[in-house]
Chain A
Amino acid sequence: MKLSYEWLSEYLDLNIEPKDLAEKIERTAVEVDSVKRLDYKLKKIVVGHTLEVEMHPDSDHLHIVQVDVGEEEPIQIVCGAPNIAADQDVIVAMHGSRIKDNVKIKRSKMRGVPSNGMICALQEIGFDDAVVPKDYVDGIYVFPADSGVEPGDSVMEALGMDDDVIDTDITPNRGDMFSMNGNATEIGAILNEDVTFESIVPSDSDQSDQDSNEQISVKVSDPVFAPVYKMKVINNLTVEDSPFWLQKRLMKAGIRPINNLVDVTNYIMLKYGQPLHAFDYDQLPEKTITVDKAGENVKFTTLDGEERDLRADDLLIKSGDVPVALAGVMGGMDSEISDGTKTVALEAAIFDPILVRKTARYHVLHSEAATRFERGIDFSSIDNALDEAATMMAQLGNGQISQNTVVGNEVIPEEKQIKISLVRINKVLGTELSADEVGDIFDRLGFEYDLDEVNGNFNVVAPLRRWDISIEADLLEEIARIYGYDNLPSTLPVGPTTIGSLTDTQKIIRDSRTTLEGLGLNQAMSYGLTTIDKARHFIMADGETVKVDWPMTKDHEALRMSLISGLLDDIAYNEARSVDNIALYEQGRVFKKAGDNVQPTEIEHIAGAITGSLIDSSWINKDEKVDFYQMKGVVDQYLQNLNLNGAVQYRATDQYPEMHPGRTANIFIDDQYIGFVGQVHPETQKAYKISETYVFELNLSTLIAQPKVRQHYEMISKFPSISRDMALLVDEDVTNQNILDVINSSKQKFLVNINLFDVYNGSHLPSGKKSLGYQLTYQDSKATLQEEVVNQEFESLVEQLKTELGVTIR
């Protein structure tokens, strides 16, 4: 809310700079967005009185104006505003002045005619378009007669622009800070100062003999809709502009002056926080008012001119059967105050905050009134607000208020009584406050209380204006903030010792990240929500995709079922920016539907993607493009670090439509499927707009659950080892795994290591054949191995390879 320092000063003796006051408000109550003066950087802008206005000889819209600016001679200004006329008090930016955005105004010639300044619109000196009176939106501003301005007066002073406006950002619990009265009370508590409120009292001439109750009747169909609903009728009114002081206050608060009647409702809303609505009594089709829900298929034109299809639950004010207002949100076009309005039915009500909020939200009508109803209204000030508004209307519109108030409903809640003990206060806040200090804080806040001096128990009465205070914790907050958070001690929790350590799962996940980073992959974080198509790419286990109900965009509509898809998006982003060597990994969740109205299954995955070279080329090493075996090496090393009990196996697969059918392997730990590694299918690469890319994705949850080897020290053999090399000529379709399977199945007692050192399928081999070279290492941990023993083992192995795979030894 925009708080005028000048207006606040009416209630409080403010001996504090506006900036300092703002800081106090921020540290004790609510956040402050800004402290601004409208005259910031404005210079040499004065009131001018137009003497003569004549057409510019060479223009169809420019006028040559002689203006009295309080100097000995009038000055001449060329002005293009359509509403310029003689005998107006206007805003004149003199030669050398500064207007909005620090723009400098200089003497000039306009189509040959000298112009010694500029006659300004309100927007040109910094007012927001939305607060400028309608008559002056498209032209220059003209001071009203009651402004009492004289030529040469400072415009900034005349318009009250020299006032500081503190703009607060109010939290949902502080509805009381949406009124000047509430702010004055709060600031009084903060500064420990007394507050004085004044209200306008009706005189005899403001009263009419008529009785409101005979003019109109009111019914609230369910008391829950509007705990309070009241009306007053004001007769014989004349609609005209509000007095200058009132217009200025509204503009500073961010509200556009309309006319005396509407302005009063807004002014009283700002003062008391109580939204009011003025109906043109004569335009109400029937003089019976009902507060009720809209029901099915109702259309209603709000005063902004828009016809709206109402929700059945929207709360309406009806005149007879005709809707005349969206309760608490916006009035209707047909019963709006117009220039011809003579009689006003003035509504002061408290509507159900939830109903108002839903209506405001659905129709996107977050009006000042709706905001206040949503945050809560002070039940104790509604009568004052209604009375003062009626009086002001009568006085400003030369009308008379009918006797009595029409009451449709009036359910005022009880003030809440809350118990709190001094011991409890100090225990929770960590303070050492005395009962006197606490009592003083309650006094400042205007909370009444009883204190049991013996045991330090307070019984506090929360005033109705502070509807947010209902439990002990609320009082603790009040005490803490008025006492000052800066004054709280700084301690750390004491109590029984707890052990802080990561779980095994968390440790494995952290280690996984470290390993992959050590292997050259950068950690990526991609979006969990993606397109429906991409969500289903590279999926490891079938399942239904989870979609959000009301996505913001098609790009983030479904929950990912693999991580690779996101990594490929990342690669595309990099390649589009000419980054060619990209190595990324991601660790995170994938999702699949587990049933209706149940949470989806979330599985931890880890995936990597490399394109280009893992290691940058340089003067010393050539560009070495990533290939299947490099990616497999990364996966191998990672799995090795996990210290799995089971054996890692790779089996060729063509099951993934997004993967190269001849360059992809499923990965198993013993027979447990854990993921895959391979090259992205060329078609998929094209679709993602990426180059040749190798990827892997593993189910980390399954990996974490796999049994791990219990590490123990293995004695390093003191005895020498013996190696044997063999070059096997085999059919091209015999795989390394086929050969390893034979070796592992043969009874090799002392074989400790197998190293594939050569793969050759060059031209001088018979066609359809390839050659694989293995080095076998034999060792006995307890004795020196005899050549004959090794020879025996080796020979029997070779024989087995010959029989089972038809190998030839080269």
Chain B
Amino acid sequence: MSLEDQLRDLEQKSLKDIKETVDLSKLNEVRVNLLGKKGPITEVLRGMRELSKEERPKVGSFANEVRDNLTETIEKRRSELEQAHLERKLKRESIDVTLPGKPVAQGNPHVIQQIIDNIEDLFLGMGYQVVEGPEVETDRYNFEMMNLPKDHPARDMQDTFYITDEILMRSQTSPVQARTMEKHDFSKGPLKMISPGVVYRRDTDDATHSHQFHQIEGLVIDKHITMGDLKGTLETLAQELFGDRFEVRLRPSYFPFTEPSVEADVTCFNCMGEGCKVCKYTGWIEVLGAGMVHPNVLKMAGVDPEVYGGFAFGLGPDRFAMLRYGVDDIRNFYLNDVRFLSQFNKRG
């Protein structure tokens, strides 16, 4: 049998072997046996010395052709086997993706904190500063500087926890305004501030009353502030908190520290103004008190009411939260039931 015939036979037989191999290590054995130094092709090529000079290159190139073909076939088979192996492995690794994920720890801000932060951010964006003050105040700052002298009837409206005759738990966050106004250097520009915080009243706790709750008051003092500015600011606030479709209406009211004084109603979010139980069928819900700062308040804080004026407003985040989320008992905010707190974990 000629060398070429031997090679041809070898090629046919080996191709069959390769195709029949199903195992990667077996395939490796086949490769070593076939193409290694002691393999049949090398053996065949050794016999070339006996060939004539003319035949050698011809047989040589044929031998290379066979070797290349076998090598390529082995590689192709290896790739096939590897792919199949991977597929089997991935199949084995399949899991039930509908099983629940592994729990992680995540806490939430208190719902009232969320409202406070929300309002702070709105006013920070409008150039206001956030100012805090003491929770235990003097009678002077809590009342007298707010145009509520000792025998003023409106003091009855907010029954107060006194500690001594002159020291009390603040019943409003307005004293912060008086303190800030006193310190503010108006030559450096207007005063624009909000003061969030806890306040205390001598109330018996029930579903709608709490001896502790929160307030946010705002104050703007400058040379050219109008009541229209107050109206616009309150509308901006209402729309930020509730949405664009909400309207604000002002009604006359009375606060000793503002004149004119108004109460602001917002479109009822339960019925969007149609009238329902929540809004007592008026379509409106009272959400804040406001007004133009009373000249006495300015004077007492050392601000000239002939030159400066401005507006103030105040709202209760507890009440906001009750209305916004339909919370029917204010005590929920201070009992800290985890099931209650974690309900308010969705933004927006």
Nearest residue in B to A33 (C-beta to C-beta)?
Answer: B280
Nearest residue in B to A515 (C-beta to C-beta)?
Answer: B107
A548 touching B162 in the complex, CB below 8 Å, given contacts A493-B220, A523-B341, A602-B134: yes
Nearest residue in B to A34 (C-beta to C-beta)?
Answer: B280
Query: Interface size (A, Cβ < 8 Å)?
Result: 102
Contact B153 A172 (CB under 8 A): yes
Task: Kindly state the separation between the CA atoms of A282 and B25 in the bound complex, as whole angstroms.
Answer: 131
* Set B125, B211, B232, B254: member contacting A171, Cβ < 8 A: B254
Task: Kindly state the separation between the CA atoms of A172 and B153 in the bound complex, as whole angstroms.
Answer: 7
Contact B232 A492 (CB under 8 A): yes
Distance from B250 Cβ to chain A, minimum over Cβ atoms (Å): 4
B217 interface residue, CB < 8 Å from A?
no
A527 touching B334 in the complex, CB below 8 Å, given contacts A172-B154, A497-B127, A500-B128: yes
Interface window among B27-35, B39-47, B68-76, B98-106: B98-106
Nearest residue in B to A375 (C-beta to C-beta)?
Answer: B153
Contact B112 A525 (CB under 8 A): yes
Residue among A374, A429, A525, A621 with most chain B CB within 10 A? A525
Task: Kindly state the separation between the CA atoms of A546 and B134 in the bound complex, as whole angstroms.
Answer: 14
A490 touching B232 in the complex, CB below 8 Å, given contacts A429-B227, A523-B110, A585-B107: yes
Task: Kindly state the separation between the CA atoms of A431 and B228 in the bound complex, as whole angstroms.
Answer: 8
Contact A599 B106 (CB under 8 A): no
A residues less than 8 Å from B202 (CB atoms): 550, 552
Nearest residue in B to A556 (C-beta to C-beta)?
Answer: B211
Distance from A82 Cβ to chain B, minimum over Cβ atoms (Å): 39
Task: Kindly state the separation between the CA atoms of A615 and B107 in the bound complex, as whole angstroms.
Answer: 11
* Set B126, B136, B228, B336: member contacting A526, Cβ < 8 A: B336
Within 8 A of B (CB), among A131-178: 171-174
Contact A488 B228 (CB under 8 A): yes
A517 interface residue, CB < 8 Å from B?
yes
B223 interface residue, CB < 8 Å from A?
yes
Contact B198 A500 (CB under 8 A): no
B203 interface residue, CB < 8 Å from A?
yes
Task: Kindly state the separation between the CA atoms of A193 and B220 in the bound complex, as whole angstroms.
Answer: 38
Distance from B159 Cβ to chain A, minimum over Cβ atoms (Å): 9
Nearest residue in B to A524 (C-beta to C-beta)?
Answer: B336
Interface window among A409-417, A474-482, A800-808: A474-482
* Set A493, A528, A548: member contacting B222, Cβ < 8 A: A493
A357 interface residue, CB < 8 Å from B?
yes
Within 8 A of B (CB), among A541-563: 546-552, 556, 559
A579 touching B107 in the complex, CB below 8 Å, given contacts A473-B259, A490-B228: no
A430 touching B228 in the complex, CB below 8 Å, given contacts A485-B262, A520-B107: yes
Task: Kindly state the separation between the CA atoms of A173 and B259 in the bound complex, as whole angstroms.
Answer: 11
Contact A498 B134 (CB under 8 A): no
Contact B124 A616 (CB under 8 A): no
A492 touching B229 in the complex, CB below 8 Å, given contacts A173-B254, A559-B136: yes
A98 interface residue, CB < 8 Å from B?
no
* Set B99, B225, B250, B337: member contacting A493, Cβ < 8 A: B225
Contact B336 A584 (CB under 8 A): yes
A103 interface residue, CB < 8 Å from B?
no
Nearest residue in B to A490 (C-beta to C-beta)?
Answer: B232
A residues less than 8 Å from B190 (CB atoms): 493, 495-496, 498
Distance from A526 Cβ to chain B, minimum over Cβ atoms (Å): 6
A residues less than 8 Å from B235 (CB atoms): 490
Contact B262 A547 (CB under 8 A): no
Task: Kindly state the separation between the CA atoms of A800 and B228 in the bound complex, as whole angstroms.
Answer: 77
A residues less than 8 Å from B319 (CB atoms): none
A619 touching B99 in the complex, CB below 8 Å, given contacts A471-B295, A485-B231, A489-B231: yes
B contact residues, range:
35 or more
Interface window among B13-21, B51-59, B78-86, B164-172: B164-172
Contact B166 A597 (CB under 8 A): yes
Within 8 A of A (CB), among B310-342: 333-339, 341-342
A400 interface residue, CB < 8 Å from B?
no
The proximity string for A residues 417-447 relative to B, scoring 1 for CB distances below 8 Å and 0 otherwise, is: 0000000000111110000000000000000
Nearest residue in B to A472 (C-beta to C-beta)?
Answer: B295
Within 8 A of A (CB), among B93-129: 99-100, 102-110, 112-113, 117, 120, 123-129
Task: Kindly state the separation between the CA atoms of A497 and B156 in the bound complex, as whole angstroms.
Answer: 40
Contact B227 A488 (CB under 8 A): yes
A596 interface residue, CB < 8 Å from B?
yes
B residues less than 8 Å from A361 (CB atoms): 156
Task: Kindly state the separation between the CA atoms of A574 and B129 in the bound complex, as whole angstroms.
Answer: 37
* Set B204, B228, B254, B309: member contacting A491, Cβ < 8 A: B228
Distance from B232 Cβ to chain A, minimum over Cβ atoms (Å): 4
What are 25 A-B pairs with beta-carbon distances under 8 A?
A: A171-B253, A374-B153, A430-B228, A472-B295, A473-B294, A476-B260, A480-B260, A489-B226, A490-B232, A490-B235, A491-B229, A496-B190, A516-B107, A517-B106, A520-B104, A520-B107, A522-B110, A522-B336, A524-B110, A548-B162, A549-B163, A550-B161, A579-B337, A598-B167, A621-B102
Report A's interface with B, CB cutoff 8 A: 26-31, 171-174, 353-354, 357-358, 361, 374-375, 427-431, 471-474, 476-477, 480-481, 485-486, 488-503, 506, 510, 513, 516-529, 546-552, 556, 559, 567, 570, 573-574, 577, 579, 581-585, 588-589, 591, 596-600, 602, 614-621
Known: A473-B260, A579-B338, A618-B100. 12 other contacts (CB 8 A): A31-B251, A31-B253, A375-B153, A490-B231, A491-B229, A500-B124, A503-B130, A522-B110, A548-B161, A549-B161, A550-B162, A588-B198
The 6 closest A-B pairs by CB, nearest first: A520-B105, A430-B228, A430-B226, A171-B254, A477-B260, A485-B250
